């Protein structure tokens, strides 16, 4: 592996870890995005259907009510109104996992590490 490739991989891993620690990634998906273009709207709808099990139409409506904010839309699809979802997200410091726990909707469990092969 050449130095440039190693450096790029290192920076990619570092930036991914920073995004996770900042709460911008949830269940492997970038949830801290604003759906301001058609491409991002479609991506946001896919994220919402995957995280909440909602239909595409429900995801579109929640995104509209949340002004394109995916984290807010997730909370709306879990039964919050806009004001309550905004307050919960603010109390959670913008962290979706903490906001969901606050409303009694625990996030996905990590995969069982015992199932991983050893050597």
Q: Does residue 116 surpass a pLDDT of 50?
A: no
Give residue 103's Cα distance to chain centre: 16
The per-residue pLDDT for range 51-104, each reduced to its tens digit, is: 999 999 999 999 999 999 999 999 999 999 999 999 999 999 999 999 999 999
CA distance 77 to 63: 10
Cβ burial 3-37 (10 Å sphere, 16+ → b, else e):
eeeeeeeeeeeeeeeeeeeebbbbeebebbbebee
- Predicted local confidence at residue 19, as pLDDT: 85
Residue 65: per-residue pLDDT: 95
For the segment(s) 3-107, the CATH number from 3.10.50.40, 1.10.3720.10, 1.10.8.1080, 1.20.1080.10 is 1.10.8.1080
pLDDT tens, position by position, 2-31: 888 888 999 989 888 888 888 888 888 989
- For position 3, what pLDDT does the model report? 80
For the full predicted model, state whether its pTM sits above 0.85.
Answer: no
Taking the CB of residue 87, how many other CB atoms lie within 10 A of it? 15
How much is the pLDDT for 33? 84
């Amino acid at each position: 592996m050449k130095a440039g490739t190693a450096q790029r991989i290192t920076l990619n891993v570092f930036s991914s870890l920073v995004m996770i620690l900042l709460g911008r990634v949830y269940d492997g998906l970038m949830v801290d995005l604003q759906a301001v273009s058609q491409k991002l709207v479609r991506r946001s709808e896919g994220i919402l259907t995957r995280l909440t099990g909602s239909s595409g139409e429900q995801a579109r409506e929640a995104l509209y009510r949340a002004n394109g904010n995916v984290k807010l839309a997730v909370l709306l699809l879990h039964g919050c109104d806009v004001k309550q979802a905004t307050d919960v997200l603010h109390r959670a410091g913008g962290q979706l996992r903490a906001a969901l726990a606050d409303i009694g909707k625990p996030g996905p469990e990590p995969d069982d590490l015992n199932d991983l092969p050893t050597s």
